[in-house]
Amino acid sequence: MIEAGNRVGGKMRFHGFHRKELSGVPPGGRHVWWTGMPIFTFEGTKVRDLFALGDIHGLISRLKGLAPHLPPRSVDKNAVFW
């Protein structure tokens, strides 16, 4: 995490199994993930604003089986990604 004044940002990774159509790609059962970075702006103790960056092109490549597969450290076999 990075903090600067009233802003905090960090790295995140979502993952799951492709079980429903997403972005026109039919479900393939692949384990997929995407990375991103949320940036929160605080006003006192409350979040005033949230901006999120995400690698949607990397996700779509993984859905199609085009990107290299590097699994996360742990995988929840019950997770649904759609």
pLDDT tens string 11-54:
998 888 999 999 899 998 888 888 999 999 999 999 999 999 99
Domain residue ranges of the chain, discontinuous segments joined by +? 2-81
pLDDT at residue 15 in the model: 87
Q: Pairing between strand 7-9 and 2-4?
A: antiparallel
Look at the chain and count its residues: 82
pLDDT at residue 34 in the model: 87
**CATH class as words, domain 2-81:** alpha beta
With a cut of 60, say whether residue 76 has pLDDT above it. Answer: no
Check residue 5 and give left, alpha or beta (phi > 0: left; psi -120 to 50: alpha).
Answer: left
What band does 69 get if pLDDT is binned at 50, 70 and 90? low
pTM exceeds cut of 0.85: no
